[in-house]
Amino acid sequence: MKYDSTSLKLPIENLEAEDYLPLNGTDYIEFYVGNAKQSAHFFKTAFGFQDHAYSGLETGSKEKTSYVLKQNKIILVLTSSLTDKNHINDHLIKHGDGVKNIAIWVDDSRKSWKETTIRGAESAFKPYTIEDENGKVVLSGIKTYGDTVHIFVERSNYKGVFLPGFISHTSKYQPENTGLKFIDHMVGNVGWNEMDIWVNYYKNIMGFAQLVSFDDKDISTEYTALMSKVMTNGNGRIKFPINEPAEGRKKSQIEEYIDFYNGAGVQHLALATDDIIGTVSKLRSRGVEFLQVPKSYYDDVMDRVGKIDEDISPLSELGILIDRDEEGYLLQIFTKPLMDRPTVFFEIIQRKGAKSFGKGNFKALFEAIEREQENRGTL
């Protein structure tokens, strides 16, 4: 067993990846939203996130306000503008509510910025230090697809609740969590013929290696198609599938996303759970809507995936999909879009050994998406 050069000394899962950019895992995901307070209430109520930290007028922030929510290892930052003229508003007008920053936990932010920019990454901002009575944090950023930014967060010398400038935030309303554990992967949608550009970006700039690829023969229906490649760092803590449209008779979900998001961006976050039946049951009871596959999907699914630990009945009732690879099997389900525009959504996933991404479910899943597109008049 080989181990990487992070302070955590994590086992290397993908030996083809390089190790000049050691990454410990996801730090946080920041959404730019129209109303951070209301968005925080939504993610608490619907998905079981808890109040964690806050920044706004009360902390001296005059330009923006941010609510930080947490559930186990998942941290969401929901940020809104407090003024009429700044880049947050520009982002909202162009994209609607969506992911702006993918923050990655590193041991050395300055080194991470240097290693990526010397290889061709465009800097979003140079390394700088923020500090308060709880210590200091070093931040730096590079640009990736669309207007999305990767922030390198070095927090080994910080003992505060989140970041300097934030205070601990709790309220009397703390809904029970729904069993979501960590971010399994994050998917980016890019434009026509751009997938390999960004695959090479993650390979050449961040040292990632390709884990798996899917072409339009794997991901196609009667009407639409797309292509996808999954990039991962060496320890497997960061996985970035990249999707692009492929030729089809009608407009694919990727084209619909690009149209409404006005460019490339994060399509969905896959959130891991140890009990998908319990998690999805709680989410449904709180009003979360999921894509539905036909009941006929379950007629022969057991012939395809073989023996599993779960009873098929609750899986069928909840609409949870099943797939198997050489390592084991997985259970997954996808929400409908979380925003007004048909852009960002969540995937709920439970892995029982499987390392793959549900290739056997693609056709049923995309036909379900097409039915939603038809309802929206965007197919």
What are the residues whose beta carbons fall under 8 Å from the beta carbon of 367, sequence distance 6 or more?
Answer: 221, 293
Domains of the chain and any CATH numbers: 25-168 (3.10.180.10), 180-376 (3.10.180.10)
pLDDT truncated to tens, each residue of the chain (379 aa)? Answer: 899 999 999 999 999 999 999 999 999 999 999 999 999 999 999 999 999 999 999 999 999 999 999 999 999 999 999 999 899 999 999 999 999 999 999 999 999 999 999 999 999 999 999 999 999 999 999 999 999 999 999 999 999 999 999 999 999 999 999 999 999 999 999 999 999 999 999 999 999 999 877 665 666 677 667 788 999 999 999 999 999 998 887 888 899 999 999 999 999 999 999 999 999 999 999 999 999 988 888 888 888 889 999 999 999 999 999 998 899 999 999 999 999 999 999 999 999 999 888 777 777 777 888 888 888 998 8
Query: At residue 47, what is the residue type?
Result: F
Strand pairing class (345-352; 265-273): parallel
pTM of the model: 0.96
What are the residues whose beta carbons fall under 8 Å from the beta carbon of 90, sequence distance 6 or more?
Answer: none
CA distance 154 to 273: 27
- CA-to-CA dists, residue 346 to 48, 69, 162, 194, 253, angstroms: 14, 16, 24, 23, 15
Tell me which residue of 61, 50, 49, 148 sits closest to 98, measured CA to CA: 148
